[in-house]
Homo-oligomer: A and B are copies of this chain.
Protein backbone atom coordinates (compact mmCIF):
# COMPACT_ATOMS: atom_id res chain seq x y z
CA UNK A 1 0.00 0.00 0.00
CA UNK A 2 2.46 2.50 1.26
CA UNK A 3 4.50 2.66 -1.89
CA UNK A 4 1.84 4.24 -4.07
CA UNK A 5 2.98 7.67 -5.11
CA UNK A 6 0.34 8.96 -7.43
CA UNK A 7 -3.17 7.82 -8.20
CA UNK A 8 -5.57 8.87 -10.96
CA UNK A 9 -9.13 9.07 -9.70
CA UNK A 10 -12.30 8.98 -11.77
CA UNK A 11 -13.73 12.13 -10.26
CA UNK A 12 -17.30 13.28 -10.74
CA UNK A 13 -17.03 16.42 -8.63
CA UNK A 14 -19.73 15.07 -6.33
CA UNK A 15 -19.49 14.49 -2.61
CA UNK A 16 -18.49 10.85 -2.67
CA UNK A 17 -15.56 11.17 -5.00
CA UNK A 18 -14.49 14.37 -3.24
CA UNK A 19 -14.27 12.42 -0.03
CA UNK A 20 -12.25 9.84 -1.90
CA UNK A 21 -9.73 12.50 -2.97
CA UNK A 22 -9.08 13.40 0.62
CA UNK A 23 -9.16 9.82 1.83
CA UNK A 24 -6.60 8.79 -0.79
CA UNK A 25 -4.34 11.68 0.13
CA UNK A 26 -4.50 10.72 3.78
CA UNK A 27 -4.56 6.98 3.62
CA UNK A 28 -1.97 6.50 0.94
CA UNK A 29 -0.08 9.71 1.51
CA UNK A 30 0.01 10.09 -2.25
CA UNK A 31 -0.74 12.63 -4.89
CA UNK A 32 -4.17 12.47 -6.48
CA UNK A 33 -4.82 13.28 -10.13
CA UNK A 34 -8.47 13.81 -10.95
CA UNK A 35 -10.11 12.87 -14.21
CA UNK A 36 -13.58 14.11 -15.01
CA UNK A 37 -15.23 13.14 -18.25
CA UNK A 38 -18.08 14.69 -20.12
CA UNK A 39 -19.90 11.66 -21.47
CA UNK A 40 -23.09 13.59 -21.97
CA UNK A 41 -24.38 12.98 -18.48
CA UNK A 42 -26.17 16.31 -18.66
CA UNK A 43 -24.20 18.05 -15.96
CA UNK A 44 -21.46 20.60 -16.29
CA UNK A 45 -18.05 19.06 -15.80
CA UNK A 46 -16.08 22.28 -15.56
CA UNK A 47 -17.12 22.97 -11.90
CA UNK A 48 -15.18 19.84 -10.97
CA UNK A 49 -12.01 21.80 -11.58
CA UNK A 50 -12.54 24.25 -8.75
CA UNK A 51 -13.61 21.51 -6.42
CA UNK A 52 -10.54 19.47 -7.19
CA UNK A 53 -8.34 22.51 -6.74
CA UNK A 54 -9.94 23.19 -3.39
CA UNK A 55 -8.93 19.67 -2.39
CA UNK A 56 -5.35 20.37 -3.31
CA UNK A 57 -5.31 18.48 -6.56
CA UNK A 58 -2.61 19.75 -8.92
CA UNK A 59 -3.17 17.68 -12.00
CA UNK A 60 -6.75 17.97 -13.15
CA UNK A 61 -8.07 16.38 -16.33
CA UNK A 62 -11.44 17.38 -17.70
CA UNK A 63 -12.24 15.81 -21.07
CA UNK A 64 -15.12 16.01 -23.46
CA UNK A 65 -15.37 12.40 -24.57
CA UNK A 66 -18.83 12.53 -26.07
CA UNK A 67 -17.90 11.94 -29.68
CA UNK A 68 -15.40 9.21 -28.89
CA UNK A 69 -17.94 7.59 -26.60
CA UNK A 70 -20.65 7.35 -29.21
CA UNK A 71 -18.42 6.70 -32.21
CA UNK A 72 -16.12 4.04 -30.73
CA UNK A 73 -18.29 2.44 -28.08
CA UNK A 74 -22.03 3.06 -28.44
CA UNK A 75 -22.26 2.72 -32.20
CA UNK A 76 -20.17 -0.47 -32.44
CA UNK A 77 -22.33 -2.00 -29.73
CA UNK A 78 -25.56 -1.11 -31.50
CA UNK A 79 -24.32 -2.77 -34.68
CA UNK A 80 -24.89 -6.02 -32.83
CA UNK A 81 -28.43 -5.16 -31.63
CA UNK A 82 -27.01 -5.67 -28.19
CA UNK A 83 -29.38 -6.34 -25.32
CA UNK A 84 -28.50 -7.90 -21.98
CA UNK A 85 -31.01 -10.39 -20.62
CA UNK A 86 -33.59 -9.48 -23.19
CA UNK A 87 -34.09 -5.95 -21.90
CA UNK A 88 -31.11 -3.86 -20.86
CA UNK A 89 -29.37 -1.65 -23.42
CA UNK A 90 -26.10 -1.51 -21.45
CA UNK A 91 -25.99 2.23 -20.98
CA UNK A 92 -23.71 2.14 -17.96
CA UNK A 93 -21.65 -0.82 -19.07
CA UNK A 94 -20.55 0.68 -22.34
CA UNK A 95 -19.13 3.85 -20.78
CA UNK A 96 -16.81 2.08 -18.37
CA UNK A 97 -14.16 0.82 -20.79
CA UNK A 98 -13.69 4.33 -22.13
CA UNK A 99 -13.21 5.71 -18.64
CA UNK A 100 -10.77 2.91 -17.85
CA UNK A 101 -8.86 3.70 -21.02
CA UNK A 102 -8.56 7.39 -20.13
CA UNK A 103 -7.59 6.61 -16.53
CA UNK A 104 -4.72 4.52 -17.82
CA UNK A 105 -3.70 7.05 -20.47
CA UNK A 106 -3.58 9.73 -17.79
CA UNK A 107 -1.68 7.42 -15.47
CA UNK A 108 0.87 6.93 -18.20
CA UNK A 109 1.07 10.67 -18.90
CA UNK A 110 1.39 11.68 -15.28
CA UNK A 111 3.52 8.80 -14.13
CA UNK A 112 0.90 7.55 -11.74
CA UNK A 113 1.15 4.01 -10.44
CA UNK A 114 -2.45 3.53 -9.41
CA UNK A 115 -6.00 4.33 -10.38
CA UNK A 116 -9.05 4.69 -8.19
CA UNK A 117 -12.80 4.91 -8.60
CA UNK A 118 -15.91 5.40 -6.52
CA UNK A 119 -17.75 2.20 -7.38
CA UNK A 120 -18.93 -0.08 -4.60
CA UNK A 121 -17.83 -3.63 -3.98
CA UNK A 122 -21.22 -5.07 -4.84
CA UNK A 123 -21.67 -3.77 -8.31
CA UNK A 124 -20.54 -4.37 -11.85
CA UNK A 125 -18.76 -1.06 -12.31
CA UNK A 126 -15.79 -1.92 -10.14
CA UNK A 127 -15.27 -4.95 -12.36
CA UNK A 128 -15.57 -2.97 -15.57
CA UNK A 129 -13.16 -0.25 -14.42
CA UNK A 130 -10.61 -2.65 -13.08
CA UNK A 131 -10.67 -5.23 -15.86
CA UNK A 132 -10.04 -2.37 -18.26
CA UNK A 133 -7.25 -0.96 -16.15
CA UNK A 134 -5.48 -4.29 -15.67
CA UNK A 135 -5.85 -5.09 -19.38
CA UNK A 136 -4.30 -1.84 -20.50
CA UNK A 137 -1.64 -1.47 -17.80
CA UNK A 138 -1.00 -4.82 -16.19
CA UNK A 139 1.17 -3.49 -13.38
CA UNK A 140 -1.18 -0.78 -12.25
CA UNK A 141 -2.46 -0.75 -8.69
CA UNK A 142 -6.16 -0.27 -8.15
CA UNK A 143 -7.64 1.41 -5.11
CA UNK A 144 -11.34 0.88 -4.54
CA UNK A 145 -12.11 2.86 -1.39
CA UNK A 146 -15.60 1.44 -0.99
CA UNK A 147 -14.06 -1.98 -0.56
CA UNK A 148 -11.53 -0.71 1.93
CA UNK A 149 -12.75 2.07 4.08
CA UNK A 150 -15.14 2.13 6.99
CA UNK A 151 -17.21 5.07 5.79
CA UNK A 152 -20.06 2.74 5.04
CA UNK A 153 -22.93 4.77 6.40
CA UNK A 154 -24.09 8.27 5.64
CA UNK A 155 -23.29 9.27 9.22
CA UNK A 156 -19.66 8.17 9.17
CA UNK A 157 -19.25 9.81 5.78
CA UNK A 158 -20.61 13.10 7.04
CA UNK A 159 -18.43 12.94 10.10
CA UNK A 160 -15.44 12.41 7.86
CA UNK A 161 -16.39 15.47 5.80
CA UNK A 162 -16.73 17.64 8.84
CA UNK A 163 -13.45 16.44 10.23
CA UNK A 164 -11.67 17.11 6.93
CA UNK A 165 -13.37 20.35 5.96
CA UNK A 166 -15.07 18.95 2.90
CA UNK A 167 -18.13 21.01 2.06
CA UNK A 168 -21.05 18.61 2.12
CA UNK A 169 -23.30 20.83 0.08
CA UNK A 170 -21.67 19.62 -3.07
CA UNK A 171 -24.98 19.21 -4.75
CA UNK A 172 -25.62 22.92 -4.81
CA UNK A 173 -28.53 22.78 -2.47
CA UNK A 174 -30.36 20.13 -4.45
CA UNK A 175 -31.94 17.43 -2.42
CA UNK A 176 -29.93 14.26 -2.49
CA UNK A 177 -31.71 11.75 -4.70
CA UNK A 178 -32.86 8.60 -2.94
CA UNK A 179 -31.49 6.62 -5.88
CA UNK A 180 -28.04 5.67 -6.95
CA UNK A 181 -27.79 7.08 -10.45
CA UNK A 182 -25.47 7.00 -13.41
CA UNK A 183 -25.84 8.98 -16.61
CA UNK A 184 -24.18 9.42 -19.95
CA UNK A 185 -25.33 10.14 -23.48
CA UNK A 186 -26.84 6.68 -23.78
CA UNK A 187 -28.87 6.50 -20.60
CA UNK A 188 -29.57 7.38 -17.03
CA UNK A 189 -29.98 4.63 -14.47
CA UNK A 190 -31.60 4.34 -11.04
CA UNK A 191 -30.98 1.80 -8.34
CA UNK A 192 -31.63 1.55 -4.62
CA UNK A 193 -34.29 3.19 -2.49
CA UNK A 194 -37.77 1.83 -2.98
CA UNK A 195 -36.54 -0.07 -6.04
CA UNK A 196 -34.99 -2.61 -3.72
CA UNK A 197 -38.47 -4.12 -3.45
CA UNK A 198 -39.16 -5.72 -6.88
CA UNK A 199 -42.90 -5.67 -6.34
CA UNK A 200 -42.96 -1.90 -5.83
CA UNK A 201 -43.73 0.25 -8.84
CA UNK A 202 -41.19 2.97 -9.55
CA UNK A 203 -42.37 6.42 -8.62
CA UNK A 204 -43.19 8.76 -11.47
CA UNK A 205 -40.98 11.54 -10.14
CA UNK A 206 -37.92 9.32 -10.28
CA UNK A 207 -37.69 9.51 -14.07
CA UNK A 208 -35.66 12.48 -15.37
CA UNK A 209 -35.08 12.17 -19.10
CA UNK A 210 -38.44 11.09 -20.46
CA UNK A 211 -41.95 12.28 -19.96
CA UNK A 212 -44.43 9.61 -19.01
CA UNK A 213 -46.17 8.14 -22.06
CA UNK A 214 -49.33 9.65 -20.60
CA UNK A 215 -47.74 13.11 -20.79
CA UNK A 216 -46.31 12.72 -24.27
CA UNK A 217 -47.89 14.55 -27.23
CA UNK A 218 -51.15 13.23 -28.62
CA UNK A 219 -49.76 13.54 -32.12
CA UNK A 220 -47.10 11.09 -33.30
CA UNK A 221 -43.68 12.27 -34.44
CA UNK A 222 -42.29 10.79 -37.65
CA UNK A 223 -38.53 10.68 -38.19
CA UNK A 224 -36.25 9.28 -40.83
CA UNK A 225 -32.84 7.84 -39.97
CA UNK A 226 -30.07 7.28 -42.50
CA UNK A 227 -27.63 4.43 -42.01
CA UNK A 228 -24.14 3.97 -43.41
CA UNK A 229 -22.38 0.71 -42.52
CA UNK A 230 -24.74 0.13 -39.65
CA UNK A 231 -24.33 3.56 -38.05
CA UNK A 232 -26.76 6.47 -38.16
CA UNK A 233 -25.29 9.37 -40.10
CA UNK A 234 -28.33 11.61 -40.55
CA UNK A 235 -31.69 12.37 -39.01
CA UNK A 236 -34.40 13.62 -41.34
CA UNK A 237 -31.73 14.14 -43.96
CA UNK A 238 -29.47 16.27 -41.79
CA UNK A 239 -25.98 14.84 -41.47
CA UNK A 240 -24.88 14.74 -37.85
CA UNK A 241 -21.89 13.58 -35.83
CA UNK A 242 -22.33 10.43 -33.72
CA UNK A 243 -22.79 12.27 -30.44
CA UNK A 244 -25.19 14.72 -32.04
CA UNK A 245 -27.23 11.87 -33.46
CA UNK A 246 -27.66 10.44 -30.00
CA UNK A 247 -28.35 13.81 -28.38
CA UNK A 248 -31.08 14.48 -30.89
CA UNK A 249 -32.64 11.07 -30.54
CA UNK A 250 -32.62 11.45 -26.78
CA UNK A 251 -34.54 14.67 -27.10
CA UNK A 252 -37.06 13.33 -29.57
CA UNK A 253 -37.44 10.05 -27.73
CA UNK A 254 -37.67 11.63 -24.31
CA UNK A 255 -40.39 14.00 -25.50
CA UNK A 256 -42.40 11.03 -26.75
CA UNK A 257 -42.13 9.00 -23.57
CA UNK A 258 -39.77 6.47 -25.11
CA UNK A 259 -37.13 4.31 -23.45
CA UNK A 260 -38.13 3.64 -19.87
CA UNK A 261 -37.21 0.25 -18.51
CA UNK A 262 -37.71 -1.44 -15.15
CA UNK A 263 -35.96 -4.75 -14.64
CA UNK A 264 -34.32 -7.15 -12.26
CA UNK A 265 -30.94 -8.04 -13.71
CA UNK A 266 -28.19 -10.50 -12.86
CA UNK A 267 -24.91 -8.88 -11.88
CA UNK A 268 -21.55 -10.38 -12.70
CA UNK A 269 -20.73 -10.53 -9.01
CA UNK A 270 -23.54 -13.02 -8.52
CA UNK A 271 -26.58 -11.21 -7.18
CA UNK A 272 -29.84 -10.01 -8.67
CA UNK A 273 -30.52 -6.29 -8.61
CA UNK A 274 -33.42 -4.07 -9.57
CA UNK A 275 -32.61 -1.26 -11.97
CA UNK A 276 -34.60 1.38 -13.80
CA UNK A 277 -33.26 2.96 -16.95
CA UNK A 278 -34.11 5.69 -19.41
CA UNK A 279 -32.58 5.14 -22.83
CA UNK A 280 -34.70 7.19 -25.22
CA UNK A 281 -32.27 7.50 -28.11
CA UNK A 282 -30.93 3.99 -27.70
CA UNK A 283 -34.41 2.50 -27.75
CA UNK A 284 -35.07 4.20 -31.07
CA UNK A 285 -31.70 3.12 -32.44
CA UNK A 286 -32.25 -0.51 -31.49
CA UNK A 287 -35.55 -0.73 -33.33
CA UNK A 288 -34.30 1.19 -36.35
CA UNK A 289 -31.12 -0.81 -36.70
CA UNK A 290 -33.00 -4.08 -36.83
CA UNK A 291 -35.25 -2.54 -39.48
CA UNK A 292 -32.42 -1.49 -41.77
CA UNK A 293 -30.76 -4.85 -41.27
CA UNK A 294 -34.01 -6.61 -42.12
CA UNK A 295 -33.71 -5.58 -45.75
CA UNK A 296 -29.92 -5.46 -46.17
CA UNK A 297 -28.54 -8.35 -44.18
CA UNK A 298 -28.36 -11.90 -45.43
CA UNK A 299 -30.59 -14.25 -43.46
CA UNK A 300 -27.87 -16.44 -42.03
CA UNK A 301 -25.69 -13.43 -41.26
CA UNK A 302 -28.56 -12.02 -39.25
CA UNK A 303 -29.14 -15.32 -37.47
CA UNK A 304 -25.47 -15.74 -36.65
CA UNK A 305 -25.46 -12.26 -35.15
CA UNK A 306 -28.61 -13.02 -33.19
CA UNK A 307 -27.16 -16.21 -31.77
CA UNK A 308 -23.94 -14.53 -30.69
CA UNK A 309 -25.49 -11.33 -29.45
CA UNK A 310 -26.32 -12.52 -25.92
CA UNK A 311 -22.71 -13.54 -25.50
CA UNK A 312 -21.43 -10.23 -26.84
CA UNK A 313 -23.83 -8.39 -24.55
CA UNK A 314 -22.62 -10.39 -21.58
CA UNK A 315 -19.01 -9.56 -22.37
CA UNK A 316 -19.80 -5.86 -22.32
CA UNK A 317 -21.98 -6.15 -19.24
CA UNK A 318 -19.25 -8.05 -17.40
CA UNK A 319 -16.56 -5.57 -18.35
CA UNK A 320 -14.62 -7.51 -20.97
CA UNK A 321 -14.62 -4.79 -23.64
CA UNK A 322 -10.85 -4.91 -24.02
CA UNK A 323 -10.72 -8.69 -24.19
CA UNK A 324 -9.67 -10.68 -27.22
CA UNK A 325 -13.02 -12.41 -27.49
CA UNK A 326 -14.97 -9.13 -27.60
CA UNK A 327 -12.67 -7.88 -30.32
CA UNK A 328 -13.05 -11.10 -32.28
CA UNK A 329 -16.81 -10.76 -32.18
CA UNK A 330 -16.53 -7.11 -33.13
CA UNK A 331 -14.53 -8.01 -36.21
CA UNK A 332 -17.31 -10.29 -37.29
CA UNK A 333 -20.05 -7.81 -36.48
CA UNK A 334 -18.39 -4.86 -38.19
CA UNK A 335 -17.71 -6.91 -41.29
CA UNK A 336 -21.40 -7.80 -41.49
CA UNK A 337 -22.35 -4.13 -41.65
CA UNK A 338 -20.74 -3.20 -44.95
CA UNK A 339 -24.07 -3.29 -46.77
CA UNK A 340 -26.20 -2.01 -43.88
CA UNK A 341 -27.01 1.26 -45.60
CA UNK A 342 -30.29 3.02 -46.22
CA UNK A 343 -33.17 4.76 -44.51
CA UNK A 344 -35.64 3.83 -41.82
CA UNK A 345 -38.82 5.74 -41.19
CA UNK A 346 -40.25 5.65 -37.68
CA UNK A 347 -43.39 6.75 -35.97
CA UNK A 348 -42.89 7.73 -32.33
CA UNK A 349 -45.94 7.91 -30.14
CA UNK A 350 -46.36 7.80 -26.37
CA UNK A 351 -43.64 5.28 -25.64
CA UNK A 352 -43.99 3.37 -28.91
CA UNK A 353 -41.30 3.16 -31.57
CA UNK A 354 -43.05 1.93 -34.70
CA UNK A 355 -41.19 1.10 -37.89
CA UNK A 356 -43.26 2.28 -40.82
CA UNK A 357 -40.77 2.08 -43.69
CA UNK A 358 -37.31 0.91 -44.69
CA UNK A 359 -35.45 1.31 -47.99
CA UNK A 360 -31.93 0.80 -49.25
CA UNK A 361 -29.89 0.72 -52.42
CA UNK A 362 -28.40 -2.41 -50.89
CA UNK A 363 -31.74 -4.02 -50.23
CA UNK A 364 -32.00 -7.78 -50.60
CA UNK A 365 -35.78 -7.57 -50.58
CA UNK A 366 -36.85 -8.78 -54.00
CA UNK A 367 -40.42 -7.82 -54.79
CA UNK A 368 -40.44 -9.81 -57.95
CA UNK A 369 -39.77 -12.99 -56.01
CA UNK A 370 -41.73 -12.31 -52.84
CA UNK A 371 -44.91 -11.19 -54.57
CA UNK A 372 -48.22 -13.01 -54.27
CA UNK A 373 -48.84 -11.89 -57.82
CA UNK A 374 -47.32 -13.39 -60.93
CA UNK A 375 -43.55 -13.41 -60.52
CA UNK A 376 -42.81 -13.96 -64.19
CA UNK A 377 -40.87 -17.10 -63.44
CA UNK A 378 -38.26 -15.67 -61.12
CA UNK A 379 -39.09 -18.36 -58.57
CA UNK A 380 -40.05 -21.91 -59.42
CA UNK A 381 -42.57 -23.10 -56.87
CA UNK A 382 -41.82 -26.71 -57.77
CA UNK A 383 -38.37 -26.31 -56.25
CA UNK A 384 -40.08 -26.25 -52.88
CA UNK A 385 -41.06 -29.89 -53.16
CA UNK A 386 -37.51 -31.19 -53.34
CA UNK A 387 -36.43 -28.68 -50.73
CA UNK A 388 -39.00 -29.97 -48.29
CA UNK A 389 -38.46 -33.63 -49.12
CA UNK A 390 -34.75 -33.54 -48.41
CA UNK A 391 -35.20 -31.42 -45.33
CA UNK A 392 -37.66 -34.05 -44.13
CA UNK A 393 -35.53 -37.03 -45.10
CA UNK A 394 -33.80 -37.64 -41.77
CA UNK A 395 -37.14 -37.48 -39.95
CA UNK A 396 -38.81 -39.73 -42.50
CA UNK A 397 -36.07 -42.29 -42.06
CA UNK A 398 -36.32 -42.14 -38.27
CA UNK A 399 -40.06 -42.50 -38.43
CA UNK A 400 -39.97 -45.31 -40.95
CA UNK A 401 -37.54 -47.16 -38.72
CA UNK A 402 -40.10 -47.16 -35.97
CA UNK A 403 -39.36 -44.10 -33.92
CA UNK A 404 -42.47 -42.30 -32.78
CA UNK A 405 -41.79 -38.62 -33.35
CA UNK A 406 -44.92 -37.59 -31.49
CA UNK A 407 -43.69 -38.71 -28.13
CA UNK A 408 -41.49 -36.56 -25.97
Using a CB–CB cutoff of 8 Å, the interface residues on chain A facing chain B are 81, 85-87, 101, 120-122, 126-127, 130-131, 134-139, 142, 144, 146-147, 152-153, 180, 191-192, 196-202, 213-214, 218, 220, 260, 262-266, 269-274, 290-291, 294-295, 298-304, 306-307, 310-311, 314, 320, 322-325, 327-332, 335-336, 339, 345, 347, 349-352, 354-359, 362-367, 369-372, 374-375, 379-401, 403, 405-406, 408
Taking a contact as CB atoms under 8 Å apart, the answer to whether B295 and A264 are in contact is: yes
- Inside 8 A of A374's CB, which chain B residues have their CB? 152-153
Known contacts: A290-B87, A380-B389, A389-B380. The answer to whether A201 contacts B396 by CB under 8 A is no
Known contacts: A197-B367, A307-B307, A397-B271. The answer to whether A180 contacts B389 by CB under 8 A is no
- Inside 8 A of A371's CB, which chain B residues have their CB? 192, 196
How far is B373's CA from A180's CA once the two chains are assembled, in angstroms? Answer: 11
**A143: min CB distance to chain B, Å:** 10
Which of A135, A138, A370, A379 lies at the interface centre, i.e. has the most chain B CB atoms within 10 A of its CB? A370
Known contacts: A271-B366, A394-B299. The answer to whether A131 contacts B388 by CB under 8 A is yes
**A380: min CB distance to chain B, Å:** 7
- Inside 8 A of A131's CB, which chain B residues have their CB? 388, 391-392, 395
- Inside 8 A of A260's CB, which chain B residues have their CB? 354
Taking a contact as CB atoms under 8 Å apart, the answer to whether A120 and B381 are in contact is: yes
Taking a contact as CB atoms under 8 Å apart, the answer to whether B359 and A198 are in contact is: yes
Known contacts: A300-B323, A307-B311. The answer to whether A356 contacts B122 by CB under 8 A is no
Contact residues of A: prevailing secondary structure? mixed
In the A-B complex, the 4 residue pairs with the closest CB atoms: A121-B381, A386-B386, A270-B393, A383-B386
Taking a contact as CB atoms under 8 Å apart, the answer to whether A366 and B325 are in contact is: no
Which of A307, A330, A332 lies at the interface centre, i.e. has the most chain B CB atoms within 10 A of its CB? A332
Taking a contact as CB atoms under 8 Å apart, the answer to whether B271 and A379 are in contact is: yes
Taking a contact as CB atoms under 8 Å apart, the answer to whether A390 and B392 are in contact is: no
- Inside 8 A of A363's CB, which chain B residues have their CB? 198, 401
Known contacts: A311-B307, A356-B262. The answer to whether A134 contacts B396 by CB under 8 A is yes
How far is B304's CA from A114's CA once the two chains are assembled, in angstroms? Answer: 32
- Inside 8 A of A381's CB, which chain B residues have their CB? 120-122, 146-147
- Inside 8 A of A202's CB, which chain B residues have their CB? 356
- Chain B residue with minimal CB distance to A273? B370
- Inside 8 A of A335's CB, which chain B residues have their CB? 327-328, 331
Known: A122-B370, A135-B399, A272-B299. 18 other contacts (CB 8 A): A120-B372, A122-B379, A131-B391, A134-B399, A135-B396, A136-B406, A138-B396, A198-B359, A199-B357, A201-B357, A266-B299, A266-B394, A269-B390, A274-B365, A339-B403, A350-B350, A383-B385, A386-B387
Taking a contact as CB atoms under 8 Å apart, the answer to whether A263 and B355 are in contact is: yes
